[in-house]
Amino acid sequence: MMLLFNLYIIKTKNCTSMKKLTLCLLLMGSMAVHAQITSTKKGDIEFGGRSIAEMQKYDGSAETRPKFRMINAKGDTLVMIKFNKDLAFDWMTFDFKNTGKKIEVNTSEIIKGLNYQKNIGGFLIDSKLFDTTGNIDALALEALATKYNENLTEKYKVLNEGNRLVTTTKFEYQCADQSLYINGKLAGYAVVPANEQMSFKGVTFLNTDKKLVASGDLGGFGGTMKTVDGKEIKLGSAGKTTGCGDTMVFATNILRELFRNGYYR
């Protein structure tokens, strides 16, 4: 009786046609199955209380975080997992074997304590990556790859290189012609609104050919510059533009961050 009542609610609220009702029932079935797929403290994956994939630890030491791999009941390696660190940046790489997909995630999004295996297993379960046989669900993997589509290895390499270079690089802005200079060499141009303190609309940075490098609308507490290749660079407060001196600081602050992220090099 309760099942019929629940079906009635589904049908009347969300599933107003037989086709939608069928899809809803399929979704409910899928959710019920995934609810039975769980992870243990060791990071193993279980379905109905039976182990369908095992997490194995290898390499690592007291000084180095271990590496992990997930294997199914047949002994096939499904995913290799490793920690990465470069100066202040920590991230993890998930290499899904036989799929050609690698996903990189900031460590802080996954690891919440000292039990790495439990945390990793929980992340894999929350992502609904496993089917009931202990293999990787292709659609779920595709969704995860779409969510985490950033190459963090390359991103942090560029940022760390930029951090090192910034300390020995001179950035300049000329109010007369809006030109930008890096170590005394013309690098491009910056168009910034004049006489503003809190709202900076249409901030535009160009290369020496006056082609777009990055643009955005900034506020008194910062904002986001979108680059010509589609990246978004978050900025803190750049300052104000209530005079040439302030505008020079404003423009060079933004130029410095663009340089740090790999532009104007």
Is 29 domain-assigned? no
Q: Which long-range contacts (CB under 8 A, 24 or more apart) does 252-258 make?
A: 252/171, 252/172, 252/173, 254/190, 254/203, 254/205, 254/225, 255/171, 255/173, 255/180, 255/182, 255/187, 255/190, 255/205, 256/166, 256/171, 257/225, 257/233, 258/205, 258/213, 258/214, 258/225, 258/227, 258/233
Give the pLDDT score at 36.
83
My answer on whether 41 and 144 are in the same domain is yes
Is 127 domain-assigned? yes
My answer on whether 128 and 178 are in the same domain is no
Mean residue pLDDT of the chain comes to: 88
Confidence label for 137 from pLDDT (cuts 50, 70 and 90): very high
Is 15 domain-assigned? no
Last residue of some domain: 148, 180, 203?
148
Q: By residue range, what is the domain housing residue 133?
A: 37-148
My answer on whether 143 and 191 are in the same domain is no
Question: What are the DSSP calls for 156-195, one per residue?
Answer: HHHHHHHHHHHTT--EEEETTTTEEEETTEEEEEEE--SS
My answer on whether 60 and 142 are in the same domain is yes
Q: What is the mean pLDDT of residues 30-47?
A: 78
My answer on whether 42 and 114 are in the same domain is yes
Is 14 domain-assigned? no
My answer on whether 144 and 176 are in the same domain is no
Is 254 domain-assigned? yes
Is 6 domain-assigned? no
My answer on whether 44 and 120 are in the same domain is yes
Token digits of residue 176? 């007369």
My answer on whether 201 and 111 are in the same domain is no
My answer on whether 186 and 256 are in the same domain is yes
Is 1 domain-assigned? no
Give per-residue pLDDT as tens, 225-235.
999 999 999 99
My answer on whether 119 and 202 are in the same domain is no
**Is the pLDDT score of 113 beyond 90?**
no
Give the pLDDT score at 239.
93
My answer on whether 175 and 107 are in the same domain is no
The CA-atom distances, in angstroms, between 85 and each of 63, 65, 109, 156, 157 are 12, 10, 15, 9, 10
Is 21 domain-assigned? no
Give per-residue pLDDT as tens, 171-216.
999 999 999 999 999 999 999 999 999 999 999 999 999 999 999 9
Give the pLDDT score at 10.
43
Q: What is the mean pLDDT of residues 133-146?
A: 94
Give the pLDDT score at 25.
46
Confidence label for 29 from pLDDT (cuts 50, 70 and 90): very low
My answer on whether 143 and 245 are in the same domain is no
Domain count for the chain, please give it: 2
